[in-house]
Amino acid sequence: MHVLVIGAAGMVGRKLLDKIASQPGALGRDIEKLILVDVIKPDAPASLASISTSRAADLSEPGVAESLIASRPDLIFHLAAIVSGEAEADFEKGYKVNLDGTRQLFEAIRLESAKSPYKPRVVFASSIAVFGQPFPEKIGDEFFTTPLTSYGTQKAICELLLSDYSRRGFFDGIGIRLPTICIRPGKPNKAASGFFSNILREPLVGQVAVLPVDENVRHWFTSPRSAVGFFLHAANLDLEKVGDRRNLSMPGLSALVGEEIAALQRVAGEKAVRLIRREPDATIQKIVAGWATDFDTKRATALGFKAETAFDDIIKAHIEDELGGNI
């Protein structure tokens, strides 16, 4: 099998590759060729190096998508995007990267399939940002997408494109609406949701973290470990069971910021909690206020997607995966 990972240098991309490397057969078939692409050249796990080719490229630039699809990958993970805060701050860049790059990828597949039979599996990273207020108590599978941010709008348009290109038979696509991933490893990024991870990640290693919103803010979460599981499951799933509605809200955990902090105290103690500094930020507060807080994910759950059900488990997964099991 030939696999293409776009956005391979990002957090989810790196963890996905590590999982594939450590779990032979994770994609259901042996991988014969692996192409890794991002705006910076990705690194392949050592055990996959012999079958991997890495490339620095911007999917939104002319000709890039066509060059990637020319080798006809069987499975495509499309994880590339700029994050919510950056997409809101830079309107043109958000649409260029998040929408134009995706459209060019889909078009490249369509044009390749017109030459001779070709129908790859496309697994697309979408977001719960496709939903906007007013919300029901729980967002179900029938709730409409009315995003209130540019990032959410870009993802919602891509979801529609994915469904239509799949309906027309150009590829077999599935969109994975990710909850906010927490705890994200590494340094803070430009995502408006970044503080949800910051207030746990930094205190766990003895560093100060800033909380820009009230502790009564509720949100929808999953761990990096579960996010990788979503993409692997989507790659192996019989999409006939998904039907024509190809975009799925993933299972997760609805929790208050205060419940995050309480879980941190249970796992790491009061010393870690004291490192959180309250510094209200009106811009972030406004963005977060327009986000969904709880979901009923019956479709995804029935299809076998799984996530954590307690915040303590999310924190413990980070400690195991990123801190060697020690704090």
Catalytic residue numbers read 151
Tell me if 313 sits within 8 A of 253, measured CB to CB: no
User: CB count, 10 Å around CB of 138?
Assistant: 13
In angstroms, rounded to a whole number, what is the distance separating the alpha carbons of residues 106 and 31?
23
In angstroms, rounded to a whole number, what is the distance separating the alpha carbons of residues 101 and 97?
5
Residues with Cβ < 8 Å from 243, sequence gap 6 or more? none
b (16+ CB within 10 A) / e for 52-72: bebeebebbeeebbeebbeee
Q: How many residues does the chain have?
A: 327
Record the tokens describing residue 191, joined without a space: 């995502």
User: Position 235: which residue type?
Assistant: A
CA atoms lying within 13 Å on the CB side of residue 49: 4
| Distances from the Cα of 123 to the Cα of 30, 145, 230, 245, angstroms | 18, 20, 10, 14
Q: Give me the residues paired with residue 21 across strands.
A: none
**Which of 223, 251, 206 lies closest to 317 in space, CA to CA?**
223
In angstroms, rounded to a whole number, what is the distance separating the alpha carbons of residues 160 and 146?
13
Q: Give me the residues paired with residue 194 across strands.
A: none
